[in-house]
Amino acid sequence: MKKAIYPADASTTVGPYSPAVEVDNRTLYVSGQIPLDPQTGKIVGDDIVGQTEQVFRRLNAVLAAGGYTLADVVKATVFLTDMNDFAAMNEVYGRHLASACLPARSAFQVAQLPRGVKIEIEVVAMK
């Protein structure tokens, strides 16, 4: 069984996808989150640190809507428009995902992300 998960404060998605999909009440696949403020529709943060902080606020909101937390994350994929931002992103990432069992992770530099942002992160969480 699968069901779409929408956080209460979610802005409307810009395409045919769900913010997250839960499978068998056990695994949550969270779509890539960008540093968007769902109330204003504006991008939060001018630099990678500010944008990464906002991405984690969005991830927390989507995870919570499904009854998950960052501690449940088993896999993360990070998309950056500039790999030179990796160290600064990694510092913020480490603060939010510090645990005894860190999730598996991939990080990629991409040519462009929606709305000209510097970062997007998608995660998979399990109960």
- pLDDT tens series, the chain, 127 aa: 999 999 987 665 667 899 999 999 999 999 999 999 988 989 999 999 999 999 999 999 999 999 999 999 999 999 999 999 999 999 999 999 987 789 999 999 999 999 999 999 999 999 9
- Residue 7: Cβ-neighbour burial (10 angstroms; 0-12, 13-18, 19+): middle
- Report pLDDT for 32: 97
Spacing of C-alpha 105 from chain mean position = 12
Give the span between the Cα atoms of 104 and 124, in whole angstroms: 10
CATH number for the domain whose boundaries are 2-126:
3.30.1330.40
Using DSSP bridges, classify how beta strands 73-80 and 104-109 pair: parallel, antiparallel or unpaired.
parallel
pTM comes to: 0.95
Angle at 89 between CA 84 and CA 94, to 5 degrees: 140
Q: CB neighbours of 85 closer than 8 A, spacing ≥ 6?
A: 48, 118, 119
Q: Tell me the one-letter amino acid at 43.
A: I
DSSP alpha helices (H): ranges in the chain? 48-65, 86-96
